[in-house]
Amino acid sequence: MRITVEHQNDNLPYHIFEAIQIFFGVKNDFVFIRNSESLRIMVNDGQDGVLCIDDTDKKQSKRDVYVFLSKVLGYESPWGCMTGIRPVKVANTLYERNHTTEDIRKHFKEFYLIRDDKIELIINTANVQKRFLEEQKRSNNYIGFYSGIPFCPTRCLYCSFTSNPIGRYKKVVDKYLDVLEEEIKGTAQLIKEKNLVIRTLYLGGGTPTSLNEEQFERYLSMLTDNLELSCVSEFSLEAGRPDSITLEKLRIARKHGVNRISINPQTMNNKTLKLIGRMHTKEQIIEAFHFARETGFENINMDIIAGLPDETLEMFENTLEEIEKLDPDSLTVHTLSIKKAANLKEDIEKQKLLNAEIVDTMVDKAENFASRLNMRPYYMYRQKNILGNHENVAYCKQGCESPYNIHIMEEDQTIMAVGAGAVTKVVYDNGRIERAFNMKSVEDYISRKEIGIERKRALLSL
Ligand code: SF4
């Protein structure tokens, strides 16, 4: 199958590319581009269909391309022609402009051609988010604070985060913590100068629990000693890798006020865990979960992934059954996304990735499962190159939402971020958003330590 796009410009218009991209990975199509007078799309040299577009209205053109290819290729995306990673933000914006739920449903169905179940997912998620967005509007000096530890026990096959195997970096971890401490202190000073109030604190990475117990105690003390945390409602810790968790680290986390923790199996099948480069077993996940309950954690999140290589529907169901026995307070269901940085991209041919229908069923099963556990969706996002054009959804029991994640996705709150690869995002009163990027590699972060603070200061002075 060959799709040929003829267009005037040197570069293919992005909105047209986005519409075509919906079909990547679904049909394994080849896209060929060349210059021409008009914008015209042909499939199989015109044998299967030709579309000529008056490209004056970008949204309409994108829709036209989607409808055309959908017919020719016989595939309908669950999200219709909607691209972009934040569908709930679109609904929240419409609510803000006084549109009714019925108007929004109609718009999503008739213009974007989104499937009914996805429309309900958006509406339900937006409803749960309402009180968090209203709080932010009332108190616009509330911010989130993110701190990153860029180390993990090993690197997962699909990882595209700032993560380095801690075994190889042992010698620099203390130096990293020295530099991070300086950045935390400098950022605390900036927050004070600007009268900002930390409402959520999120420790991610990497996996912060990869630090040894002594370093972990030091890390949490650095944060709680230097930041003003009296207004914090959520203090989250990514302890994603059970092979990095000990009872003592969980006690340290509790002592410092952590009230939400993520223990992420991704799958409860030992064979897959090995295949995706996670050198731990499902038994370790279960043990770590019980440790967390024993130490008093009442808000435990678990992440899973639908569409992992070589996983069958039965294996996915097994993951859900095992998780049900543990009864976590929230469950984040990702659909596998093939990211550029991940090794998986190279292996896409070899790995025999699952087809869209199986992933569809997995995603459905996870949704029904979450509802059986009395969980509701509270934030969601989409990614490029996600299997079956699905999405990532976080479900939780009432009262166990993570406001940090809601605000990150809805982009209504400033996030001050420290650590290698961390991204600070400042949301100004007029809604404009600017970002400051920290150095990604641990070596650069350490050797150019002043940059993080300088960039944050510059953003806050705009
Ligand atoms: S645990 Fe997360 S951050 Fe660490 S390697 Fe795996 S995907 Fe990357």
Residues of the chain with CATH 3.80.30.20: 139-418
Residue 342: predicted pLDDT: 46
Average pLDDT, the chain: 91
Of 136-145, 272-281, 407-416, the poorest mean pLDDT is in: 272-281
Topology of domain 2-73 in CATH is Glutaredoxin (3.40.30)
Instruction: For residues 144-163, give the mean pLDDT.
Output: 91
Residue 158: predicted pLDDT: 80
Task: Determine the distance separating the centroid of ligand 1 and the alpha carbon of 177, expressed in angstroms.
Answer: 19
Band the pLDDT of 170: cuts 50, 70, 90: very high
Task: Determine the distance separating the centroid of ligand 1 and the alpha carbon of 416, expressed in angstroms.
Answer: 22
CATH superfamily of 139-418: tm_1862 like domain (3.80.30.20)
Residue 2: predicted pLDDT: 78
The minimum-distance atom of ligand 1 relative to the CA of 160 is: 8
Task: Determine the distance separating the centroid of ligand 1 and the alpha carbon of 151, expressed in angstroms.
Answer: 8
Q: Which residue among 169, 241, 264 is best mutated to probe the pocket of ligand 1, counting the most ligand atoms within 8 A of its Cβ?
A: 241
The minimum-distance atom of ligand 1 relative to the CA of 278 is: 6
**DSSP annotation string for 210-246:** GS-HHHHHHHHHHHHHHS--TT-SEEEEE---GGG--
Q: List helix spans (H) across 299-342.
A: 313-326
Using the predicted structure, report yes or no on whether residue 20 has a pLDDT greater than 90.
no
Which whole-number Å values give the CA distances from 215 to 29, 208, 405, in the listed order?
50, 10, 26
More confident residue, 438 or 35: 438
Residues lining ligand 1, judged by CB closer than 6 Å?
152, 155-156, 159, 161, 163, 206-207, 240-241
Could you tell me which of 128, 39, 139 has the C-alpha nearest to residue 88? Answer: 128
The minimum-distance atom of ligand 1 relative to the CA of 206 is: 3
Instruction: For residues 85-94, give the mean pLDDT.
Output: 95
Residues of the chain with CATH 3.40.30: 2-73
What residue owns the CA closest to ligand 1's atom 2? 206
What residue owns the CA closest to ligand 1's atom 6? 156
Task: Determine the distance separating the centroid of ligand 1 and the alpha carbon of 311, expressed in angstroms.
Answer: 19
Using the predicted structure, report yes or no on whether residue 9 has a pLDDT greater than 80.
no
Residue 54: predicted pLDDT: 86
Residue 337: predicted pLDDT: 81
More confident residue, 298 or 41: 298
Instruction: For residues 319-325, give the mean pLDDT.
Output: 97
For residue range 332-378, list pLDDT tens digits in order. Answer: 999 988 765 444 555 554 555 556 778 889 999 999 999 999 999 99
Residues 6+ apart with CB under 8 A from 11: none
